[in-house]
């Protein structure tokens, strides 16, 4: 996730991964000595072990075997070997390594960051444009520490010293099954009277860009052309526009940020603009995009809840939705409104989620009609959209 405002949690005391007894190890690769020093200090104060710093990708790759980090914070623009060139080399040295890309908010860097996710990075983080901005940004500091906590805990739980199969339990950028037994969840029974879907909604956060693309690709353009598709992916401005372009290229369908008062049309993909809530207005005969700069919801803007609640009021039982991987619980309130209106909500399962926060919250609340692995969600949605059942 990279939201303008993201949920924050205190790091695990002492930087120790829950249940692992292992202090989370971090490497910082950035050509700015100021950034390396500040980030190292912040992480040290939060209780994490900064085992190495590197001024370029070559040094970072060479340091891997000596320091064996759980998380690498990897800048995109560096001399000798930049972040995009270093990423595959780092992952080859340490399968399952959690790499978070860091870049300033430019269209170029947004495009590169999204491409890095497809290559195995687990997330990305927007840096302030200047060293002064890095120094004074509480949001950047909070988001950075949160990512180290989440991804470092997931990686450290599967260290070979704690699990004989951990060394081979996954591939770079692919989430591994939880070390804890999954909590029991109840599925919501299907509605007796089936109303054909008229719209598809998708909510996602951390790990979402790759997951959303896979889901849409597996639904298929032939089916997607029959419905408007609305997506809330927690991202800042600039990134959402580039994300929409990537989805358009992948699906061969028109895809763009939603615009205020734009009429929904089948066969189009609408992405909530970073920093703005995207909802709906009108009635089922003519539905338009509603954008607003209102207060954050669930610590986020855009928020999944805003879109889901508006869709529940307008489309009711004709709404089909899915919540994919992501931190926090955004989407749960909206999912409740959708199910009460007769709509269907699917959720990604824990084993294939980068972070089982948002879909897990919906599953535990008993609001999901089905809880499915990422690889099965596209086909399930296609069947529901075309009237063949889940």
Cross-strand bridge partners of residue 278: 291
Candidate list 30, 113, 234, 305, residue with the active-site label: 234
d(CA 33, CA 55): 7
DSSP string, 152-217: HHHHHTT-TTT-TTGGGS--TTPPPPPSSPPPP--PPPPPSS-----EEEEEE-TTHHHHHHHHHH
Cross-strand bridge partners of residue 232: 203
- Cβ pair 109, 241 in contact under 8 A: no
310 annotated active-site: no
d(CA 357, CA 327): 5
Degrees, nearest 5: CA angle 41-68-12: 50
Q: Which pair of tokens denotes residue 7? A: 């949920």
Candidate list 330, 349, 353, 361, residue with the active-site label: 330
Q: How many CA atoms lie less than 13 Å away from 39 in the CB half-sphere?
A: 34
376 annotated active-site: no
Candidate list 153, 205, 321, 353, residue with the active-site label: 205
234 annotated active-site: yes
Q: Mind telling me the catalytic residues? A: 205, 234, 330
């Amino acid at each position: 996730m990279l939201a303008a405002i993201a949920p924050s949690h205190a790091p695990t005391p002492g930087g120790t991964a829950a249940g692992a007894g292992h202090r989370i190890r971090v490497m910082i690769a950035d050509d700015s000595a100021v950034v390396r020093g500040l980030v190292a200090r912040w992480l040290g104060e939060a209780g994490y072990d900064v085992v190495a710093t590197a001024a370029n990708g070559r040094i970072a790759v060479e340091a891997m075997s000596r320091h064996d980090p759980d998380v690498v914070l990897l800048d995109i623009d560096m001399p000798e070997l930049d972040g995009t060139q270093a990423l595959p080399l780092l992952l080859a040295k340490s399968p399952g390594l959690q790499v978070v890309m860091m870049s300033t908010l430019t269209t170029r860097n947004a495009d590169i960051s999204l491409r890095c996710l497809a290559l195995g990075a687990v997330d990305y983080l927007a840096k302030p444009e200047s060293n002064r901005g890095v120094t004074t940004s509480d949001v950047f500091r909070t988001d950075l520490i949160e990512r180290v906590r989440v991804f470092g805990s997931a990686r450290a739980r599967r260290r070979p010293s704690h699990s004989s199969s951990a060394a081979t339990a996954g591939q770079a950028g692919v989430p591994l099954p939880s070390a804890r037994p999954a909590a029991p969840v109840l599925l919501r029974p299907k509605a007796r009277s089936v109303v054909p879907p008229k719209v598809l909604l998708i909510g996602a956060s951390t790990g979402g860009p790759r997951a959303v693309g896979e889901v849409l690709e597996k639904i298929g353009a032939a089916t997607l052309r029959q419905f408007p598709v609305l997506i809330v992916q927690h991202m800042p401005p600039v990134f959402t526009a580039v994300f929409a372009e990537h989805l358009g290229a992948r699906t061969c369908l028109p895809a763009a940020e939603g615009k205020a008062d734009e009429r929904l049309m089948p066969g189009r993909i609408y992405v909530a603009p970073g920093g703005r809530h995207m909802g709906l207005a009108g009635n089922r005969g003519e539905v338009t995009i509603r954008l607003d700069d209102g207060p954050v919801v669930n610590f986020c803007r855009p928020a999944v809840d805003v879109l889901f609640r508006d869709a529940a009021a307008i489309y009711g039982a004709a709404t089909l939705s899915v919540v994919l991987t992501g931190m926090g619980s955004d989407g749960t309130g909206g999912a409740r409104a959708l199910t009460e209106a007769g709509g269907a909500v699917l959720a990604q399962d824990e084993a294939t989620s980068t972070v089982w926060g948002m879909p897990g919250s919906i599953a535990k609340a008993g609001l999901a009609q089905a809880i499915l692995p990422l690889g099965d969600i596209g086909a399930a949605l296609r069947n529901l959209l075309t009237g063949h059942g889940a």
